[in-house]
Amino acid sequence: MILFTDEIPYNNEITYVAELLNAKVYFVGGTVRDLLLKKPVHDIDIVVFNIPYTVFATNLKKHLKAHSISFKDNVRIIKNLTIIDISKPRGKTLLEDLKLRDFTINSMAITLNGQLINFSEDLQNKCINIQYNNAFVDDPLRILRAYRFASELGFFINEITLNKIFQHRKLISNVAIERIYEELYKTFTGKYFKNIYISFIESQLFNIIFNIHNENISTEFTKICINKFFDIAKGGIDPDNNFIYIIIFFSIYSYIHKKNDETIILNNIKKIIIVKKHFIFISKILNLLKTLLHTNINTNRLNHIIFENLSLISNVLLILKILGKSEFNSFKDCKKIYYKLQYIYNMYDTSKLNEISGKDLKNLGIPEGVLFGKLLKRAQYYLVIGKANTKEDSLQKINKLWRKIYEIC
């Protein structure tokens, strides 16, 4: 079979440098897989024979006028939005190299003129199949990559590979955190994660990665919550939020029910969730849910909680709705809390939030200081929740409050 290598970015430049150096160069791995699946190729995997791979990489980098990063056994060239990975061969011959790759769908190669080598029927069968017995031992990150490929491509993981994943799952603890985060993010935000989430939960990988000791009951709870999430969300959530929700549904049972372990659980999440905004969002949501579920809150206090967390309320409402639908006794109050929260939140007029600014308080003669920010928030609070009908009403209330405080002081 001949493939059109013109669809590979910088194919002409790669061919030119290979001929110049008399190097045997092959496109391998994901490049071949994506070509056969008729997907755009953005990452190019190359293996070089006949000359040291570093020599080829240096010359290609100069020819492309690109940047490069050197790793242990490969050089990564970055040109515009394209990544070219040039690797040291894993064996003395191309076939030996292909036999030592992660999965059969990534064990194919093509020559520079498009000749396909070592075609795998697993690609046609949409099957993630481990290439050799020790593939996960040699690189434990491949365990997560199996799920990532299944999530992104809509493939299934065969029984042999699943058994190997379960057998070697604890090795994932040896992988660098940055690499784990990247694979988890791609897995949880993949187009077909819905097809494989039960298998991922049953693998216990999340428990190992985040050091969360879940009971069987929490495993079933997680399955139900994620299933309800997919039913309710129906693909209408952006990837970042999708990722965050999945992390929360994996963590929430242990976080809510293990009273003394909240800090430990959050610290373990923080180690893995290296994007700061993701971790802050997750920790705020978990803490807010714990407050709502473990505290007997009156309407006045609930109003303050909602106002202080306006940016999170829509997320919390979705989670409470799902928890309520889980039918677990330990979350039986979620329906009641959801409806109460929804009722109060619907009465808010958040469009009025920015009608009052610090300038308005200064015009009242209120000096900047410790109380200034608190009084500004209180003024906005009165307006948003309807305790003041107009901006003037709210400022009048704040002015009275300030004068009262001033007289006491």
The pLDDT of residue 241 is 85
The pLDDT of residue 216 is 65
Question: Which structure tokens are listed for 382?
Answer: 């009165």
Radius of gyration of the chain (CA): 28
Yes or no: say if 71 and 54 are a contact pair by the CB < 8 Å rule.
Answer: no
- Best CATH choice for the domain 5-124 from the list 3.40.50.740, 3.30.460.10, 3.40.50.880, 3.40.50.1000: 3.30.460.10
pTM score of the predicted model: 0.88
Rounded average pLDDT over 254-263: 73
Question: Cβ atoms within 10 A of the Cβ of 142, count?
Answer: 27
Q: For residue 263, what pLDDT band results from cuts at 50, 70 and 90?
A: confident
For residue 191, pLDDT over 60 is answered with: yes
- 41 DSSP 8-state letter: P
For residue 237, pLDDT over 80 is answered with: no
Residues 6+ apart with CB under 8 A from 333: 293
Yes or no: say if 128 and 107 are a contact pair by the CB < 8 Å rule.
Answer: no
Angle 252-256-262 (CA atoms, 0-180°, nearest 5)?
95
Rounded average pLDDT over 252-264: 76
Rounded average pLDDT over 183-191: 95
Contacts 24+ apart (CB under 8 A), 263-268: 264/211, 265/210, 265/212, 268/210, 268/211, 268/212
Question: Which structure tokens are listed for 215?
Answer: 């009971």
Burial of 152 (0-12, 13-18, 19+ CB in 10 A): middle
In the three-class reduction of DSSP (H, G, I as helix; E, B as strand; rest coil), residue 63 is classed as helix
